[in-house]
């Protein structure tokens, strides 16, 4: 039987391969063949094309120096060699997963490391991700404002619905992440005496400029070492006259900030 996938939120993962090339997809194909007796159905189940499945099985048979498949009028079945290979994989995979679970359990001995890895484990398209602590919550009948204080002391304010704040179970002192798309960040090099309505205004120094075909990415380093990236057009970059070492401020609305916390139910 196929093994269940690693639990969601697992901090450790590793791929097991036999002979450096026989991986989980190959053995999923063997298992599907054992279950269906059909190359065509097994290929679809394991995510291969019919031709791709045959090429993989033929290459594996050549390496094994004996057939892995036997074809008869009733369909295709695994040979004893293939069944032994599949059984060995399933046993090794079970031990492999048990090892990973045991090592993940060891992370409980290092709460700081565990927290660091959990903050790093989120996969998101938002280029800017900041870890901090909820320092203030202003709840209204419709909307709520949440202030996140970063380790450097800088603050980021997010505006979200009251229902979302309740669903996330936000409380002062709670660890959280603030996510901001680079396209939502406006750079200001000189306020010229004007004040902006945007709640978030973080002053820093330009530390990197990446020029692309269509747009440029500008990275500001904030006091304390945190970095924030803004995406702007080449014309915008030229108009601001920004260079590495220039002072600038990253400005973004509270409504552009997404808040993420560990352990809450998803919407």
What six digits make up the tokens of 253?
A: 């609305």
Does 68 reside within a domain?
yes
Residue-range definition of the domain harbouring residue 207? 122-260
Does 10 reside within a domain?
no
What six digits make up the tokens of 15?
A: 């791929």
pTM of the model: 0.57
Residues 34 and 69 in one domain: yes
The rounded Cα 70 to chain-centroid distance in angstroms is 42
Give the burial class of 202: count Cβ atoms within 10 A of its Cβ; 0-12 exposed, 13-18 middle, 19 or more buried.
buried
Does 54 reside within a domain?
yes
Residues 211 and 177 in one domain: yes
How many domains in the chain? 2
Helix (H/G/I), strand (E/B), else coil: 242: coil
Does 7 reside within a domain?
no
pLDDT of 180: 95
Strand 128-139 versus strand 69-72 pairing type: unpaired
Residues 91 and 182 in one domain: no
Instruction: Among 81, 109, 137, give the residue marking a domain's end.
Output: 109
Residues 256 and 136 in one domain: yes
In CATH, what number is assigned to the domain containing residue 190?
Answer: 2.40.50.100
What six digits make up the tokens of 84?
A: 């032994």
Residues 223 and 100 in one domain: no
Residues 168 and 192 in one domain: yes
Does 12 reside within a domain?
no
Does 171 reside within a domain?
yes
Written as tens digits, the pLDDT of the chain (267 aa) is: 444 444 555 566 678 888 777 889 999 999 999 999 998 999 999 999 999 998 888 888 877 778 888 887 778 889 999 999 999 999 999 998 888 888 777 777 766 655 555 555 555 567 898 888 999 999 998 999 999 999 888 999 999 999 998 899 999 999 898 999 999 999 999 999 999 999 999 999 999 999 988 899 999 999 988 899 999 999 999 999 999 999 999 999 999 999 988 764 443
Helix (H) or strand (E) holding 28: helix 24-36
Measure the CA dihedral 177/181/184/189, to 10°: 80
pLDDT of 264: 45
CA triple 60-65-69, angle to 5 deg: 55
8 Å CB contact between 234 and 242: no
DSSP single-letter state for residue 213: S
Does 102 reside within a domain?
yes
Residues 191 and 100 in one domain: no
């Amino acid at each position: 039987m196929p093994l269940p996938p690693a639990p969601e939120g697992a901090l450790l993962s590793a791929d097991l391969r036999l002979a450096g090339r026989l991986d989980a997809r190959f053995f999923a194909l063997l298992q599907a063949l054992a279950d269906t007796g059909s190359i065509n159905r097994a290929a679809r189940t394991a995510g291969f094309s019919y031709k791709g499945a045959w090429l993989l099985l033929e290459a594996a048979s050549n390496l094994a120096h004996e057939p892995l498949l036997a074809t008869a009028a009733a369909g295709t079945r695994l040979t004893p060699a293939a069944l032994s290979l599949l059984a060995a994989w399933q046993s090794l995979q079970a031990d492999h997963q048990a090892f990973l679970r045991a090592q993940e359990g060891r992370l409980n001995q290092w709460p700081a490391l565990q927290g660091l890895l959990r903050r790093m484990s989120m996969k998101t398209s938002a280029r800017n991700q900041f870890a901090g602590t909820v320092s203030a919550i202003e709840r209204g009948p419709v909307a709520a404002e949440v202030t996140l204080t970063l380790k450097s002391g800088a603050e980021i304010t997010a505006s979200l619905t009251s229902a979302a704040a309740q669903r996330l179970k936000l409380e002062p002192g709670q660890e959280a992440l603030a996510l901001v798309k680079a396209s939502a960040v406006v750079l200001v090099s000189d306020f010229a005496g004007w004040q902006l309505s945007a709640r978030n205004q973080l002053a820093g120094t330009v530390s990197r400029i990446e020029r692309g075909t269509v747009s440029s990415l500008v990275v500001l380093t904030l006091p304390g070492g945190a970095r924030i990236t803004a995406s702007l057009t080449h014309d915008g970059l030229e108009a601001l006259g920004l260079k590495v070492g220039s002072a600038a401020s990253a400005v973004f609305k509270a409504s552009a900030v997404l808040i993420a916390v560990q352990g809450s139910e998803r919407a």
